[in-house]
Structure 1
Amino acid sequence: MHGRLKIRTSEDQKLRKQKEQQKKLAAYHMGTEKILSSRKQDTYDPESISICTQILVVNPDIYTLWNYRKEVILIKKEESKKDEVEGEDTLVKYLENEIGLTEQCLLTNPKSYGVWHHRYWVLNNHPKPNWENEFNLCTKYLTMDDRNFHCWDYRRLLVNKIGITLTDELQFSTDRLNINFSNYSSWHYRSTLMNLDADSARYELNLVQNAVFTDPADSSAWFYLRWVLSNPALPKETREELLSALEQLENLEPDCKWIIMAKCWLTGSLVLNDKDYVDCRVQFYRRLVELDPMRKGQYLDYLKSAEEKTKKIGDQ
Structure 2
Amino acid sequence: MYSQDPDWDDVVPLPQDDGDHPLAQINYSEEYAEAMAYLRALMAKDELSERALKITEHVIDLNPAHYTVWLYRVKCLAALEADLKKELQFLNMKALKHEKNYQIWHHRQLVVNRLGDPTGEQEFIKEMFEKDSKNYHVWSYRQWLVKRFDLWEKGEIEYLNTLLEDDVRNNSAWNHRFFIVFSRGTPVPEDVIEREINFVEESVFLAPQNPSPWNYLRGLMNRCNIPSDRVKKLCQHYAPLDNPARIKSSHALDLLAEIMAMEENGKESAKAFDLLATTFDPVRAPFWNYRKASIAA
Do the two structures share a fold, i.e. TM-score over 0.5? yes
Query: Contact between 2:134 and 2:172, CA under 8 Å: does it hold in 1?
Result: yes
Measured in 2, the distance between the counterparts of 1:34 and 1:185 equals 42
Q: CA deviation at 1:260?
A: 1.9
Greater fraction of residues in helix: 1
Distance 1:70 1:112, change over 3 A: same
Quote the sequence identity (%).
20
Aligned AA for 2:268?
A: Y
Instruction: Trace 1:240-279 onto structure 2 (pairs within 5 A).
Output: 240-247=232-239, 251=245, 259-272=249-262, 273-279=264-270
Instruction: Trace 1:188-199 onto structure 2 (pairs within 5 A).
Output: 188-195=175-182, 196=188, 198-199=190-191
Tell whether 2:50 aligns with 1:60: no
Aligned AA for 2:200?
A: V
Counterpart of 1:181 (choices 168, 172, 176) is 168
Structure 2 partner of 1:307: 293
Structure 1 partner of 2:16: none
Measured in 1, the distance between the counterparts of 2:204 and 2:33 equals 50
Measured in 1, the distance between the counterparts of 2:222 and 2:125 equals 31
Distance 1:282 1:179, change over 3 A: closer
Structure 2 partner of 1:79: none
Distance 1:305 1:219, change over 3 A: closer
Structure 1 partner of 2:85: 96
Distance 1:308 1:184, change over 3 A: closer
Distance 1:215 1:25, change over 3 A: farther
Distance 1:217 1:306, change over 3 A: closer
Q: CA deviation at 1:48?
A: 4.6
Q: Provide the secondary structure at the position in 2 that maps to 1:166.
A: coil
Aligned AA for 2:295?
A: K
What is the root-mean-square deviation of aligned Cα atoms in Å? Answer: 3.1
Q: CA deviation at 1:188?
A: 0.8
Query: Contact between 2:200 and 2:213, CA under 8 Å: does it hold in 1?
Result: yes
Measured in 1, the distance between the counterparts of 2:232 and 2:104 equals 47
Q: Which consecutive residues of structure 1, in runs of 5 or more, have no partner in the other structure?
A: 1-21, 77-90
Counterpart of 2:39 (choices 31, 35, 38) is 35
Structure 1 partner of 2:146: 159
Counterpart of 2:108 (choices 119, 125, 128) is 119
Distance 1:304 1:123, change over 3 A: closer
Measured in 2, the distance between the counterparts of 1:251 and 1:58 equals 59
Structure 1 partner of 2:9: none
Deviations 1:134-156 (A, max 9, x none): 33333443355432343333333
* Equivalent residues, number: 264
Measured in 1, the distance between the counterparts of 2:282 and 2:69 equals 45
Structure 2 partner of 1:171: 158
Deviations 1:70-91 (A, max 9, x none): 2212322xxxxxxxxxxxxxx3
Measured in 1, the distance between the counterparts of 2:62 and 2:205 equals 43
Measured in 2, the distance between the counterparts of 1:308 and 1:107 equals 49
Deviations 1:88-129 (A, max 9, x none): xxx353x33322221121022123221112112112223xx5
Q: CA deviation at 1:191?
A: 0.3
Distance 1:225 1:33, change over 3 A: farther
Counterpart of 1:147 (choices 108, 124, 134) is 134
Distance 1:65 1:252, change over 3 A: farther
Q: Which consecutive residues of structure 2, in runs of 5 or more, have no partner in the other structure?
A: 1-25, 183-187
Query: Contact between 1:236 and 1:270, CA under 8 Å: does it hold in 2?
Result: no
Tell whether 2:267 aligns with 1:280: no
Instruction: Trace 1:207-218 onto structure 2 (pairs within 5 A).
Output: 207-218=199-210
Q: TM-score, normalised by structure 2?
A: 0.74
Aligned AA for 2:99?
A: P
Distance 1:307 1:33, change over 3 A: same
Measured in 1, the distance between the counterparts of 2:217 and 2:228 equals 15
Structure 2 partner of 1:109: 98
